[in-house]
Chain A
C-alpha cells in the first residue's frame, strides 16, 4: 500500500519537483492538477447556484443576478480557459495511453496552452458588454 507518510525524500527536502530544472512535462502535470482542483470547486459552487432553481423562482433569479456581476463574468471567461486547458491536456494524456503522440508531447502541450489562452481572451471579448 502506498504510504505518503513514509516517503523517501530527496536529500534536499522539497526538491522532488526539481525547482531548478522544471521541464514541459512537469508544467503540464502541475497545470492539469491545479485546473482540476479549480474545476472541482467550480462544479460544486455551480451546483449550489443552479440548485437554487429547485427552491423558488425568486431564489434562482437572485442567484443568477449575483453571478451576473462583472467579476463573475471575468471569472467565467477564466473558467472557459481553464476548461479548455484541462480538456485538451486530458486528451493529450488519453492519446499517450493509446500510444499516440508521446514523441510530440511538448508540441501538444503548447497547443493546449495557446488554445486555452485564446478561448479565455475570446470569452472576454464576447462578454465585454457584461463586464
Chain B
C-alpha cells in the first residue's frame, strides 16, 4: 500500500503556547479519504488527536478543514486527489477565522451567531392570507432556491474568505447566501427587513467578489452569486423599483 506523510496541526490551548505541526505516516489506497487518515491516526498512532466528524458522507458539515491551505470537506475528499500522482505531503489544519478549541476542532459559535442574525426562517406578516391547501411555487423558483438551501453550514466558505479574516463584523458568505435564499422566497414577507439587515457595511457591501467561498463550497452553493443578487435587490429597492 502507498504511504502518505501527514502533517497535522496540533494545539491544546491549555498546554501549548503555539500551534505546531506533528508528523505521521499513514497508508492509503485510491479510495482513502482525508477523514480516514485522521481516524487511522487517532485509532492507531495518537489517541489524543481531536477532530469533528459524523456522517462521513458529506451532509452533516462537521468535518471541513484546511488541507494544503485549501478548505475541504475531509470525508468527501480523497488523499490521492490532494497529493497528486507524485505523492506530496498532506498538511491538515483547522478552519481559519474561528477560535481553535483543540487541534482540528474550532468554535463555530461566531459562525452560527451570524447565521441566526439574518433570521434564517420564513417570516409571515400577520396580514398575510394563508392559502387553503399549500403555497404554490414554480418549478424554476424551487430549483433556484434549492441551490442556496443546500448549505450544510460546514464553515468552509467562512474560513476561506479573506474579508472574514480581516473584519470581525462581516456576516460572511454562508449567512448572506441564506439571507438571499429567504429574500427570494415568495412565501417570505421579511424581504425588506432582510435587505436592510444585510445592506450595510458589515453585510453584502463587504464582499469584494474574491470567490474563495464559491471555490470551496462542497455543496455548490455559490455564495458569491447570492451576495451579488442581494446587492442588486438592495440597490433596486433603494432606488425605488423592486
Please list the residues of chain A having a beta carbon within 8 angstroms of any beta carbon in chain B.
1-4, 6-12, 15-21, 23-26, 28-29, 93, 96-99, 102-103, 105
Known: A8-B110, A20-B70, A102-B225. 7 other contacts (CB 8 A): A9-B96, A11-B100, A19-B69, A26-B211, A28-B209, A96-B209, A102-B222
Query: Would you call A12 and B208 a contact (CB within 8 A)?
Result: no
Query: Would you call B69 and A15 a contact (CB within 8 A)?
Result: yes
Q: Which residues in window 164-207 of B have CB below 8 A to A?
A: 165-170, 201-202
Return B88 CB to nearest CB of chain A, in Å.
Answer: 10
A21 and B167 contact, Cβ closer than 8 Å, known pairs A102-B228, A103-B225: no
How many angstroms between the C-alpha atoms of A48 and B30 in the bound complex? Answer: 64
A-B contact pairs, 7 of them (CB 8 A): A11-B93, A18-B160, A21-B70, A25-B209, A25-B224, A96-B224, A98-B232
A99 and B229 contact, Cβ closer than 8 Å, known pairs A2-B202, A21-B68, A93-B209: yes
Query: Would you call B232 and A20 a contact (CB within 8 A)?
Result: no
Closest 4 CB pairs of A and B: A25-B211, A20-B69, A10-B96, A16-B165
The answer to whether B87 has its CB under 8 Å from any CB of chain A is: no
Query: Would you call B99 and A8 a contact (CB within 8 A)?
Result: yes
A23 and B215 contact, Cβ closer than 8 Å, known pairs A7-B165, A102-B225: yes
Choose one: A1, A2, A25; the contact of B212 (CB below 8 Å): A25
Q: Hey, which chain A residues are within 8 Å of B215, CB to CB? A: 23, 25
Q: Hey, which chain B residues are within 8 Å of A26, CB to CB? A: 162, 210-212
The answer to whether B97 has its CB under 8 Å from any CB of chain A is: yes
Closest residue of chain B to A4 (Cβ to Cβ) is B166
Choose one: A9, A11, A99, A103; the contact of B232 (CB below 8 Å): A99
Please list the residues of chain B having a beta carbon within 8 angstroms of any beta carbon in chain A.
9, 11, 19, 66, 68-70, 93-94, 96-100, 110, 159-160, 162, 165-170, 201-202, 208-212, 214-215, 222, 224-225, 228-229, 231-232, 235
Query: Would you call A12 and B9 a contact (CB within 8 A)?
Result: yes
Query: Would you call B167 and A24 a contact (CB within 8 A)?
Result: no
Choose one: A7, A21, A96; the contact of B168 (CB below 8 Å): A7
Query: Would you call B208 and A29 a contact (CB within 8 A)?
Result: yes
Query: Would you call A96 and B210 a contact (CB within 8 A)?
Result: no
Q: Hey, which chain A residues are within 8 Å of B232, CB to CB? A: 97-99
A11 and B19 contact, Cβ closer than 8 Å, known pairs A16-B162, A23-B212: yes
Query: Would you call B168 and A6 a contact (CB within 8 A)?
Result: yes
How many angstroms between the C-alpha atoms of A57 and B163 in the bound complex? Answer: 49
Closest residue of chain B to A7 (Cβ to Cβ) is B166
Q: Hey, which chain A residues are within 8 Å of B93, CB to CB? A: 11-12
Closest residue of chain A to B159 (Cβ to Cβ) is A10
